[in-house]
Structure 1
Amino acid sequence: MARRSAPEVNAGSMADIAFLLLIFFLVTTTIEKDKGIARQLPPNEDVVDPPILKEKNVFIVNVNKSDQLLVEEELMELKDLRQAAIDFLDNGGIAAQCTYCQGRRDPESSDNPDKAVISVQNDRLTSYKMYIAVQNELVAAYNFLRNRESQRLYGWKFTEIKQQIDEGKISDSQVDNYTEKLENIQKLFPLKLSEAEPKKSGQ
């Protein structure tokens, strides 16, 4: 009996199919953008006489290698950090300098939001997740106070309008009007977030 020869597979169009699949996946795949922390570095200037800060105007946040928070020399849970920062920023220890502050007016805490500085120091072994979480809580404290004031003065939230401008949802003719108001709110609660050089583990 004669042996049958196996039929050949026509592979001529395989390259075309592979090319079409490649184009399909390139077009349909969504690439996630990396999200980071928006920070503007200070200008490179030689400061001859650095400003002298009162100890009560500095809110110190330390994060150790075990991701534990030490806020103003006391252990604190991450969930309580935002409110503690709000209380510090909104204190208004000198009432004449901050008529819009609604804090306790504690003479041992910050004088006014313009003088209040939050200083964060991490350990070199602090996890990146904890680092981001702390930054988020502190920025959220500023946003809470800015939203409160923009709602009181203009009837809208600072963060919502800023996001709409960033996403291009507000027309150019309206942006100029909003920009001035956003700057006014930022002056009421300026973001003064200082990061000290990370500590070596165990120090």
Structure 2
Amino acid sequence: MARKKNRMSQEVNAGSMADIAFLLLIFFLVTTTIASDKGITNILPPKQDPNVPPPDIQKNERNIFKILINSNDQLLVEDDFRDNTEGLDEEIKAFVLNFGSPDQANIDLYNSLPPSLKAQAGRDPESSDHPNEAVVSIKTNRGTSYELYLEVLDLVKKAYFEIYAERVGLNADEYRTLSNRSAAEKELLERGKENIPMAISIAEPDKSGGE
């Protein structure tokens, strides 16, 4: 009787493949950096005590630069309708640097400004009294796009940073990179902002259409 030949198994032992795949998965999970959205780094006011009535703050209308954004991403800037943000940062700079009715402290502030900022400072009695009174108000609608809101907010901050930077002889990008890590940089930061607070009011959005 002919002896049967042993046939080599045609199957591949895949028992260890699952272990290898599992180890590779763990490796990639451990070594991969996952970007996270940190949102907008704004400092929010403390929560209001419901038992304490809010303070009654009287603010003259001319000291508030109003920006409204409706659900169609159209803007109403100081009651002026527009469909883009062109020139908004320059308008805000002119508003913040206006000395329409300065007290002695703000006359001293004006005198301390470098010539480049003095040339931009106005004396319009219909605009803000002085930089310490100037407030930029942003109000949106529930339908306002996040992109336009961020664009407007960035332009407002850009206007302030350009003022701060010019006070210390830097450009806005250089000023933004300053930190509190060294005494010299901290001094530049504080000197740029001195007596010109970044006063931005962000109102709760309207629930439905309109401006």
Equivalent residue in structure 2 for 1:60, among 57, 66, 72:
66
Identity %: 41
Structure 1 unaligned blocks of 5 or more: 167-171
RMSD: 2.8
State the Cα distance separating 1:115 from its structure 2 match: 0.7
Q: For residues 106-131 of structure 1, what are the alpha-carbon distances to aligned partners after superposition, in whole Å with 9 as ceiling and x for unaligned?
A: 11111211110011111111111111
TM-score by length of 1: 0.80
AA of the residue aligned to 1:32: A
Structure 1 residues 75-90: aligned runs within 5 Å: 75-76=81-82, 77-90=84-97
AA of the residue aligned to 2:156: L
More displaced 10-residue stretch of structure 1: 7-16 or 94-103: 94-103
In structure 2, relative to structure 1, the CA distance for the partners of 1:47 and 1:193 (3 Å cut) is farther
State the Cα distance separating 1:6 from its structure 2 match: 5.9
AA of the residue aligned to 1:185: G
Equivalent position SS for 1:191: coil
TM-score by length of 2: 0.77
How far apart, CA to CA, are the structure 1 residues paired with 2:178 and 2:25? 35
Equivalent residue in structure 2 for 1:192, among 196, 199, 202:
199
Matched residue, 2:43: 40
How far apart, CA to CA, are the structure 1 residues paired with 2:54 and 2:8? 91
In structure 2, relative to structure 1, the CA distance for the partners of 1:162 and 1:66 (3 Å cut) is closer
Structure 1 residues 5-24: aligned runs within 5 Å: 7-24=10-27
More displaced 10-residue stretch of structure 1: 31-40 or 96-105: 96-105
* Alignment size in residue pairs: 192
In structure 2, relative to structure 1, the CA distance for the partners of 1:50 and 1:176 (3 Å cut) is farther
Bigger helix share = 1
Matched residue, 2:124: 106
- Computing the radius of gyration from Cα coordinates, the structure with the larger value is 2
In structure 2, relative to structure 1, the CA distance for the partners of 1:141 and 1:161 (3 Å cut) is closer
